Structures are given as structure tokens and as C-alpha cells.
Amino acid sequence: MTLLFDQNLSPRLPRVLDGVYPGSAHVRDLGLRDAADAQIWECAKSGQYVLVSKDSDFQARSLLYGHPPKFIWLRVGNCPVKTIEDLLRTQSLLIHTFGLDKENSHLMLP
């Protein structure tokens, strides 16, 4: 499963989580640093990424349009990158299972 990390998350996450989510990217890596939500959504959809963000706008879009792409909403507030890294590592089984789920379009963590 490959993740696409939104602008509000650290661009280091794809590198530090490569062993768990190989091939993941940050929006900056794809030239979408200042892109609108709709552009990021379409990129995730066409690239078969699971979109990861703290932005509730994507949750609303997920409810409206369904998937693809699937969306993981991190409801963690301001925190160190290590906290997000640890969360995504400890929840990897849940996240990978969510990726295979044909019904649900979004997952909220924690």
C-alpha cells in the first residue's frame, strides 16, 4: 500500500516509513506543494495512493465522492513527526486492512 502525505504532514514521512509503506510519497515530491485539495485528490486517485492528512476537508470529500482514493484522517493536532510515525507504524495492520476494504472510504486515527 502506498500513501500520499498531504502538505500538513512532514515530507520526511515517506522516507522514515518506507519499510512499512514502500513507494509512498509526499505532495511536494509530486510537484503539488501549493495544489488545491481537488488536485491532490485526483493525484491520489490516479496514482492509486491512500491519501493521508490532518485536513477535515478530505474527510468531507471522501464522504461525498467515496473512493478511490481512500483517505486516512489523522486527528492528532500539532505533534512531533515521531508521534505520527509511531502512530502509522503501530496501526499498520489496521491501515493495510483498510486498504483492502471494498466498502469504507475513510479511516480516522486515533
Quickly tell me which residue has 491512500 as its cell. 50
Q: 67 is in which domain, residue-wise?
A: 3-109
pLDDT in tens, 40-91: 999 999 999 999 999 899 999 999 999 999 999 999 989 999 999 999 999 9
Per the DSSP assignment, residues forming a β-bridge with 36 are: none
pLDDT in tens, 17-33: 999 999 999 999 999 99
Round to the nearest angstrom and report the end-to-end CA distance of the chain.
19
CA distance 5 to 50: 9
- In 24-94, which ranges are E strands? 25-26, 50-53, 71-74
Tell me the whole-structure pTM to 2 decimals.
0.95
Domain count along the chain: 1
